[in-house]
Amino acid sequence: MDLIPKPDQVISAAGNVAHKVLYGGLADLRPMPRTLIDDGTLREVYHYRPAAKVREQGDPVLLVTPLAAPSSCFDLRRGCSLVEHLVGQGRPTYVVEYGRVSFKDRNLGMEHWIDEVVPTAVREVSAHAGGRPVHLVGWSLGGIFALLTAADDAALPIASLTVLGAPVDVARVPLVAPLRPLLNATQGRGAITRAYQAIGGAPTPLVRWAFQLSSFQKLVTKPLAVAQNLDDTDFLAQLEAVDRFTDDMLAYPGRTFGQLYHRFVKGNALVEGSFELGDRTIRLSDITAPVLAFGGATDGIAPIAAVNAVVPLLSGAAEVRFEVVPGGHLGMLTGRAARGATWPIIDEWIDQWSAAAGAEPVEPTPARPTEPSRESIGANPTRRYGSGGSRSLARR
């Protein structure tokens, strides 16, 4: 709103307030309809039902959820849902999520997700889609799981990988870097280690608080932002959807949290491109599928440098492409600007590598009317690598 609101702004603001008071909110939070096709221990694989009058075609897309986050990260709200976007194009769309973590799951480690959950989901999705190869799209830790799974098993039917906000070099994360010397000084016997071992993991309130802390400035200035945008229905609806997402955060199993804490946060285990798991070493250089990686221009959890560190490690990939898009950690995936920035790039990537595998590319839908301005891109208003740069990164 302007400093001195115009009459139409006052009317819009009054309407938004009234709607929120009378109906409890402005966001359409209805989840996209879906059907369970496979389940197991902390593994649920869903197929999103095709949209009315849209023929499902092409290779399937499997959305890989990070631990502790609900799958609504991909389906935030109607009009701002990656799932809705993909389904609307006729793409066979699936998601793997993990359900509620309890104390009985405390002994599950990262092996459970890399050896069992994600590979099984890939196979089940491929079979459900008629044996087609699968395009994996992983956000945050889901992206790390997708990378490690693809590196560990070259026989999986993976057509391409897309990873968003997946920090490979944790030393470049401003929230973590100053603390690493202190954390390493405890040699694994600090208060954090004793706490998660005692309670069996990282509980939901702690996970929720950590996510909010990563956007502390936005949290503090939220009341002012609401007041300044009372006439912007889409802005207010987005805030409601993000609040719902944050409220639905989940817990981490104890052993998995311990591995992430000691090996990723303290040890920066992936920075050299390899990861010790059980009796074997997983190397990112063993990935042969093409990889598209995204960094958010204002991402405080996975800054551009932390994500871009994966590029030189993917020496065996058919192609490596890195893109900078507007938004923070969640916003780059499903923020309002993602509709005109992140999603079209994902569409282009999936079409490119579906065509390479012999599938018919999906006809693109018209762009949404809401397009990000150049100013909204932040510090980098152009792609980190354009198509020419992407080709120069190709490795065969």
Q: pLDDT tens digits for 97-127?
A: 987 776 676 778 888 989 999 999 999 999 9
Bridge pairing between strands 93-97 and 43-48: antiparallel
Can you give the pLDDT at residue 347?
97
Select from 60, 49, 134 the least CA-distant residue to 91: 60
Binning pLDDT at 50, 70 and 90, where does residue 52 land? confident
pLDDT tens for each residue of 191-228: 544 443 444 444 445 444 454 445 544 544 556 665 66
| Rounded Cα–Cα distance for residues 28 and 89 (Å) | 20
Can you give the pLDDT at residue 224?
61
Helices (H), 153-232: 180-185, 191-199, 204-214, 216-228
What ranges do the domains of the chain cover?
Answer: 31-173+271-393
How many Cβ atoms are within 10 Å of 141's Cβ, its own excluded? 24
Mean pLDDT of 291-308: 94
Bridge pairing between strands 280-283 and 274-277: antiparallel
Considering only residues 260 and 268, tell me which one the structure prediction assigns the higher pLDDT: 268
How many Cβ atoms are within 10 Å of 137's Cβ, its own excluded? 27
pLDDT tens for each residue of 148-192: 999 999 999 999 999 999 999 988 887 654 444 444 444 545 554
Under CATH, what is the fold of the domain 31-173+271-393? Answer: Rossmann fold (3.40.50)
Q: What is the pTM of this model?
A: 0.77
C-beta of residue 101 within 8 angstroms of C-beta of residue 252:
yes
Binning pLDDT at 50, 70 and 90, where does residue 368 land? very low
